[in-house]
């Protein structure tokens, strides 16, 4: 089975890492986000496929929450909610 690079579950790790990097740039490298909220399928993929179930619900000490009502967001240290959703794919 080929990996579809446009499937959000295959880009979730990159998007969370980019969220951390943007957060550190804005708030300092010693400040971590409060949490990330991800669609359940993406959180499962991140926890159990990429991290092999070693630390479910956490990435670099920051809680990861499943939320079926989001496409992906980061809650910054100051409470600001920022989207880490994958880009919208064009419709035909």
Q: Is residue 56 part of a domain?
A: yes
* pLDDT tens per residue across span 34-67: 999 999 999 998 888 777 778 789 999 999 999 9
Indicate the number of domains in the chain: 1
Mean pLDDT of the chain: 88
Confidence at residue 1, expressed as pLDDT on a 0 to 100 scale: 54
Confidence at residue 90, expressed as pLDDT on a 0 to 100 scale: 61
Q: What's the pTM? A: 0.84
More confident residue, 13 or 88: 13
Residue 59 main-chain phi, psi, to 5 deg: -140, 120
| Domain around 72 | 29-87
Structure tokens at 24: 């550190």
Backbone dihedral region for residue 76 (phi beyond 0: left; psi -120 to 50: alpha; all else: beta) = beta
Q: Is residue 54 part of a domain?
A: yes
β-pairing, 35-38 vs 73-75, is antiparallel
More confident residue, 25 or 54: 25
β-pairing, 73-75 vs 58-59, is unpaired
């Amino acid at each position: 089975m080929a990996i579809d690079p446009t499937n959000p579950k295959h880009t979730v790790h990159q998007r969370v890492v980019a969220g951390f990097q943007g957060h550190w740039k804005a708030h300092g490298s010693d400040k971590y986000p409060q949490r990330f909220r991800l669609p359940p399928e993406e959180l499962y993929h991140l926890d159990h496929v990429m991290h092999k179930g070693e630390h479910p619900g956490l990435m670099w000490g920051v809680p990861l929450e499943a939320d079926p009502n989001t496409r992906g967001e980061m809650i910054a240290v100051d409470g600001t909610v920022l989207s880490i959703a994958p880009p919208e794919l064009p419709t035909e």
